[in-house]
Structure 1
Amino acid sequence: MDELQAKRQKVGEDDPIPASQDFESFAPDGVVVFIVNETTRVRMHSIFMKLASPVFASMLGPKFREGQALVNTSTNANDSPIEIALPEEQDAVCFGWICRALHCQADTTI
């Protein structure tokens, strides 16, 4: 029993918390960059957002300006990703972690 307890790692308050959240490196080839609170940039693959949310499915579809820009970016591989500001989103870190989860990233520190 002592051997089993020795193998377990205690997670507590002394664990370091990262100083900054990097939400661009988990999808370096994503075609959409969401700008939240004018400071946090979250790079995504558009298909994950379309599948996860009907709002983003509409926004990134052909009837909206963002979706039309996305089509133009997809046809020209040399273009940089489109940037979409989300001024109404209040919690940039929360939005970033949700997007990271949609990309099935297991490398988390929370």
Structure 2
Amino acid sequence: MAEPNPAKRKRVDDEVGQEEQTPPPTKHDFESFAPDGDVICILQGETRVRIDSAIMRRASPVFRTMLGPKFREGHDLANSGGVPVEIALPEDDAEVFGWISRVLHC
């Protein structure tokens, strides 16, 4: 009795150039690396990322200064009463910031 033909393998050249494309972030994108984080960064493309200010201050001299007493963001954070503060960072790339936040918060 003859066996049925096995399914053919897909040709490798059929897969070339068909990598998954990640769609660009939209203004509705939200990533939370710190569910209890006290800062929500609004990045390029209006992607929102929730972070823990203490972690970011320890890791970054820029965040240490920005969230300190001499800047508006630091004053807003100190007076927030536990409500997350939104900080606009329109020039920061959302994907890069997401990767950095992912590494720092894990």
**TM-score (norm. length: structure 2):** 0.68
Structure 1: stretches of 5+ with no match in the other structure: 1-15, 105-110
After TM superposition, the structure 1 = structure 2 runs for residues 54-69 of structure 1, keeping only pairs within 5 Å, are 54-69=61-76
The answer to whether the 8 A contact 1:38-1:85 is kept is no
TM-aligned CA deviation for residue 59 of structure 1: 0.3
Could you give the per-residue CA deviations for residues 16-48 of structure 1, whole angstroms, max 9, x where no partner exists? 888777522x31110000111142111000011
Stretches of 4+ aligned residues off by more than 4 angstroms = 16-22
Residue correspondences, number: 86
Partner in structure 1 of residue 77 of structure 2: 70
The change in CA–CA distance for 1:92 and 1:72 in structure 2 (over 3 A counts) is same
Structure 2: stretches of 5+ with no match in the other structure: 1-19
Larger Rg: 2
Match of 2:42, SS state, is strand
Partner in structure 1 of residue 31 of structure 2: 23
- Relative contact order, CA 8 A, sep 6+: which one is greater? 1
* Aligned alpha-carbon RMSD (Å): 2.4
TM-aligned CA deviation for residue 54 of structure 1: 0.7
Partner in structure 2 of residue 88 of structure 1: 91
